[in-house]
């Protein structure tokens, strides 16, 4: 064997501007090339790392057999170059090598190399001829892959396979027993399923009863609201009615005196011109202060009129709130006016607990069911009042426009809502109030009304600082409302 390095070892040819040396070094597959003299011409970096030898020690040399087998025997690439691959493979790679299914005259093989790495390595290698343009042999290229992990896994798999077969046999016996047990369980489950179906029927009936009870509770909530409103209205009416009755009582006394004066005039009329009669009439006029009555009676009448006007205003606001004089149809209404009517109705619930501040924007009329929107306003304002602590707070009602929608919000300086209960505040029957003080339907009903109006209701809250509920409503409903007042689904 000669140790002279071929010219190709120092000046590698280029293919379309790419160095073959660079090409092979960039490949993650361990690869080396020999020429027809069995001299190594290329030995890439992956090959260096896999075999643990330097390319500089291999290029120009013919000692591949020493690297792989510790003796000077041909490798698969040598057999390809010599043209004795079929004979050599049969003698040197017994039952370990075969022709490639992809490349003619190429061979594949695998083997264990005990002196490579720690504890030896299993390698899978392929060799294929390199030919000149005229078809003559130019050399051979061989690639290597480390399959040690796979082979060891296969060995472990074989070991475990026998154990697995024993386990399978044992498990088969256990499964047979388990199958018998399962059949018994199936029978029991079928009996349980029958009982469950029966129970499900009972639950459906109970659910229907619960739905009915829920409807009754909703109606009870409405009745409770009406009772609350009635109490507030009665309180508001009491004051003006009180001084109306008082003034009219005084007026009645004044009128009695006036009637006495008129009777006296009537009796004195036949004696007109009598000095004594004239004196008596003058004395009586002075005793009843007739001139004062002429001044005070119009004042009393004016105060009475103001009281009556106030009563009429309260009653009118109550009518506006409930819309008892309107059909339950969709209509265009002024949101600010509806809020004012509602605030006047619930004034008795608020005035002892908080100062009420109004901050209204200039709103267009919106398509809605006014009495239901008033119900939402009432629920939010009353809840805000109930959220106040021992100290007097403030409730602010704002309105505004956002594009093709209007909004109103009720902000309070109350106790706020804990984060852990915030996700449930719109659930039916959920309430943080003591037993007997709330049904948990106020916010749930409000949420349903807002949803029916294709709107949204959001809340911002902070403990000890208060909460703000904002309701956003479209100016015009996206679908034409139906006659019975229900929105199309």
Listed residues 269, 288, 317: the one ending a domain: 317
Which CATH number do you get for residue 77?
3.30.450.20
Sign of CA dihedral 263, 267, 268, 270: positive
Cα(45)–Cα(23) distance, integer angstroms: 11
Element (H, E) at 119: none
Q: Is residue 157 part of a domain?
A: yes
If you average pLDDT over residues 322-340, what whole number do you get? 74
Q: Would you say 30 and 44 are in contact if contact means Cβ atoms under 8 Å apart?
A: yes
For residues 361 and 235, membership in a common domain is answered with no
| CB proximity list for 363: less than 8 A, separation 6 or greater | 334, 335, 336, 399, 400, 401, 406
If you average pLDDT over residues 102-120, what whole number do you get? 85
pLDDT: which is higher, 488 or 359: 359
For residues 162 and 142, membership in a common domain is answered with no
| CB proximity list for 456: less than 8 A, separation 6 or greater | 450, 471, 472
Cα distances from 481 to residues 70, 200, 330, 489, in angstroms, run: 95, 38, 7, 10
pLDDT: which is higher, 463 or 488: 463
Cα(265)–Cα(258) distance, integer angstroms: 10
For residues 161 and 288, membership in a common domain is answered with yes
| CB proximity list for 478: less than 8 A, separation 6 or greater | 454
Listed residues 124, 146, 168: the one ending a domain: 146
For residues 253 and 166, membership in a common domain is answered with yes
* Helix-then-strand count for the chain, H and E: 13, 15
Digit-coded pLDDT (tens) for 9-40: 444 454 555 577 777 788 889 999 999 999 99
Cα distances from 234 to residues 168, 311, 344, 345, in angstroms, run: 86, 10, 13, 10
Q: Is residue 466 part of a domain?
A: yes
Q: Is residue 489 part of a domain?
A: no
Q: Which domain holds residue 123?
A: 7-146
pLDDT: which is higher, 156 or 13: 156
Q: How confident is residue 259, by pLDDT bands cut at 50, 70 and 90?
A: low
Q: Is residue 479 part of a domain?
A: no
Cα(368)–Cα(335) distance, integer angstroms: 9
17 phi and psi, to 5 degrees? 85, 0
Element (H, E) at 360: none
Q: Is residue 488 part of a domain?
A: no
Listed residues 262, 286, 317: the one ending a domain: 317
Comparing 71-85, 164-178, 216-230, which segment has the lowest mean pLDDT? 216-230
Q: Is residue 393 part of a domain?
A: yes
CB atoms under 10 Å from CB of 314, counted, come to: 19
For residues 48 and 167, membership in a common domain is answered with no
Q: Would you say 474 and 366 are in contact if contact means Cβ atoms under 8 Å apart?
A: yes
Residue 466: beta bridge partners?
462
pLDDT: which is higher, 87 or 369: 369
Q: Is residue 481 part of a domain?
A: no
If you average pLDDT over residues 87-95, what whole number do you get? 68
Q: Would you say 392 and 399 are in contact if contact means Cβ atoms under 8 Å apart?
A: no
* Total structural domains within the chain: 3
For residues 172 and 142, membership in a common domain is answered with no
For residues 240 and 191, membership in a common domain is answered with yes
Cα(224)–Cα(239) distance, integer angstroms: 24
> For residue 345, which of 246, 228, 222, 467 has the smallest C-alpha distance?
228
Provide the residue count of the chain: 489
For residues 97 and 41, membership in a common domain is answered with yes
For residues 453 and 469, membership in a common domain is answered with yes
With 70 as the cut, is the pLDDT of residue 387 above it?
yes
Q: Is residue 81 part of a domain?
A: yes
For residues 64 and 28, membership in a common domain is answered with yes
Cα(266)–Cα(259) distance, integer angstroms: 10
Residue 107: beta bridge partners?
99, 127
Element (H, E) at 246: helix 148-268
Which CATH number do you get for residue 333?
3.30.565.10
Digit-coded pLDDT (tens) for 300-322: 777 776 776 667 666 666 655 55
What percentage of the chain carries pLDDT values higher than 90?
19
User: What pLDDT is recorded for position 232?
Assistant: 62
For residues 96 and 52, membership in a common domain is answered with yes
> For residue 27, which of 13, 43, 10 has the smallest C-alpha distance?
43
With 60 as the cut, is the pLDDT of residue 2 above it?
no
Cα(63)–Cα(74) distance, integer angstroms: 9
For residues 214 and 306, membership in a common domain is answered with yes
Q: What is the three-class DSSP state of 481?
A: coil
If you average pLDDT over residues 119-125, what whole number do you get? 89
């Amino acid at each position: 064997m000669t140790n002279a390095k071929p010219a190709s070892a120092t000046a590698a040819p280029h293919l379309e501007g790419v160095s073959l040396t660079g090409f092979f070094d960039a490949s993650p597959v361990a690869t080396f090339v020999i020429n027809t003299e069995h001299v190594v011409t290329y030995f890439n970096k992956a090959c260096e790392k896999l075999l643990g030898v330097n390319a500089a020690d291999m290029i120009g040399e013919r000692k591949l057999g020493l690297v792989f087998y510790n003796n000077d025997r041909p490798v698969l690439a040598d057999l390809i170059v010599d043209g004795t691959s079929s004979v050599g493979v049969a003698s040197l790679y017994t039952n370990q090598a075969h022709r490639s299914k992809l490349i003619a005259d190429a061979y594949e093989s695998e083997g264990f190399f005990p002196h490579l790495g720690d504890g030896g390595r299993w390698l899978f290698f392929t060799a294929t001829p390199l030919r000149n343009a005229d078809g003559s042999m130019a050399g051979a290229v061989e690639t290597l892959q480390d399959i040690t992990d796979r082979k060891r896994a296969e060995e472990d798999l074989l070991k475990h396979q026998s154990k697995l077969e024993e386990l399978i046999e044992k498990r088969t016996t256990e499964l047979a027993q388990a199958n018998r047990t399962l059949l018994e369980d199936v029978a029991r489950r079928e009996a349980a399923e029958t009982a469950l179906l029966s129970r499900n029927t009972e639950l459906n009936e109970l659910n229907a009863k619960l739905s009915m009870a829920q409807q009754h509770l909703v109606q009870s909530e409405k009745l409770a609201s009406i009772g609350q409103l009635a109490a507030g209205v009665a309180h508001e009416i009491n004051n003006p009615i009180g001084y109306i009755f008082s003034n009219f009582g005084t007026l009645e006394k004044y009128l009695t005196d006036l009637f006495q004066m008129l009777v006296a005039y009537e009796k004195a009329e036949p004696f007109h011109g009598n000095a004594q009669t004239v004196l008596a009439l003058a004395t009586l006029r002075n005793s009843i202060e007739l001139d004062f009555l002429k001044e005070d009676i119009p004042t009393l009448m004016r105060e009475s009129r103001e009281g009556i006007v106030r009563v009429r205003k309260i009653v009118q606001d109550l009518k506006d709130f409930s819309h008892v004089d309107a059909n339950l149809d969709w209509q265009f209404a002024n949101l600010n006016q509806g809020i004012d009517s509602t605030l006047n109705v619930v004034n008795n619930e608020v005035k002892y607990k908080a100062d009420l501040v109004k901050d209204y924007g200039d709103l267009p009329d919106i398509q809605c069911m006014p009495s239901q929107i008033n119900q939402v306003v009432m629920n939010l304002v009353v809840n805000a009042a109930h959220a106040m602590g021992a100290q007097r707070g403030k409730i602010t009602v704002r309105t505004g426009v956002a594009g093709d929608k209007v909004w109103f919000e009720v902000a309070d300086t109350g106790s706020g809502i804990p984060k852990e209960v915030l996700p449930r505040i719109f659930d039916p029957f959920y309430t943080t109030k003591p037993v007997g003080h709330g049904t948990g339907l106020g916010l749930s009903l409000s949420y349903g009304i807002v949803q029916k109006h294709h709107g949204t209701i959001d809340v911002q809250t902070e403990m000890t600082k208060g909460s703000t509920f904002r309701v956003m409503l479209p100016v015009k409903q996206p679908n034409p409302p139906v006659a019975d007042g229900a929105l199309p689904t």
